[in-house]
Amino acid sequence: MAKVLIVYCSRTGNTEEMAKALEQGAKTVSAEVVRKKATEVEPADFLDCGAVAFGSPTNFGYMAGALKEVFDSILWNIRKQVTGLPYATFGSGQRGTAKVLEVIEGMPIFAIEKGW
């Protein structure tokens, strides 16, 4: 089974608990799982996985800055290598997570490369 990478940000611990639950769930089907905070993840982590899950709290209606930095600084530079990589999103927030998840899912990094 492919390695699953879980990348998340958590200030209060809620999103981290969700990341841990996701990790445990994946392990029940014998998946190899690597769980890292957004500030700890490296390009090689993405190149060495078969799927990735992104988790973020809602910060002012948007994803956490550290996770946005992963998209801007890491994934953008390796976008051709990770195009088509399966991914999932999860989030936490007192006022809802719909906007955060919509923003993450709208990132073009994993979409079909169109030459940009």
The one-letter amino acid at 80: K
Look at residue 102 and tell me if it is in a domain. Answer: yes
| Whole-prediction pTM | 0.84
Q: What is the CATH number of the domain that holds 43?
A: 3.40.50.360
Residue 6 lies in a domain: no
| pLDDT computed for residue 62 by the predictor | 77
pLDDT less than 50: residues of the chain: 112-116
Domain with 59 in it = 36-116
State both tokens at 21. 């639950």
Residue 17 within a domain: no
**Structurally, how many domains does the chain consist of?**
1
CA distance linking residue 79 with residue 90, whole number of Å: 21
46 is a domain residue: yes
92 burial via Cβ count (<10 Å: 0-12, 13-18, 19+): buried
| Residue 85 maps to a domain | yes
Q: Could you tell me if residue 94 is inside a domain?
A: yes
Dump pLDDT digits (tens) for 16-46: 999 999 999 999 999 999 999 999 999 999 9
For residue 103, the surrounding DSSP H or E stretch is: helix 98-105
